Amino acid sequence: MSQQDIFQQELFLNLDEVYQEQIRQSYQYIHSLGEMKAIEQEWAKYKYLILEHSHKIYLQIRHLLKDKQAFPGQEFLILICQALQEKTDRLTKVNSIDHVWGYFKNTATQEEKEIYKNMLDSFIGDEIELSEMKAFLYALTKKYHVHYLLESYYFINIQP
């Protein structure tokens, strides 16, 4: 499948513009290197965002990347597009929130831990939006200089 093909598919065209642009950049990066390493580097950036949308596709991508001799760039990006269109419930999103929180659970202050617990309860109870949870986690990411998360697309829609 050529670059034109992936970008003309309904799967891609139905995505938010922010995601479309990121996938275009990922495509360019992956295909400029032409190595599995490039896909793995992009996966490191996408994984929590994908987990937020689809645990099933998250697992499919992990399986896809096990064959280190392959170069599944197209398949990888198609799965990313599919995941980003999944409709998910709050509990699915809680899974990704908990994974990201794992970077802070041992370094956060007691106050931050209490704020997290209260916010998570409020999120589960449909009292606050995902954007509020992610803004809190993004603030912690910046405060504790978690480079891996700062490079992540998980916070792609969070305004610094």
**Model confidence over 36-93: pLDDT tens digits?**
999 999 999 999 999 999 999 999 999 999 998 889 998 999 999 999 999 888 989 9
- Quote the pLDDT of residue 8: 62
- Quote the pLDDT of residue 158: 82
At 92-121, the pLDDT tens digits run 999 999 999 999 999 999 999 999 999 999
Total-model pTM: 0.90
| Cα gap 110→130, rounded to integer Å | 22
Q: Using CB atoms within 10 Å of the CB of residue 148, give its burial: 0 to 12 exposed, 13 to 18 middle, 19+ buried.
A: exposed
Question: Does residue 9 carry a pLDDT above 80?
Answer: no
Q: Which residue has the tokens 């109870």?
A: 125
State the maximum Cα–Cα separation within the chain, in Å, rounded to a whole number.
51
Lowest mean pLDDT among 8-17, 24-33, 106-115, 143-152: 8-17
Look up residue 62 and give its DSSP letter: H
| Cα gap 68→114, rounded to integer Å | 42
Contact by Cβ (8 Å): 23, 80: yes
- Quote the pLDDT of residue 29: 94
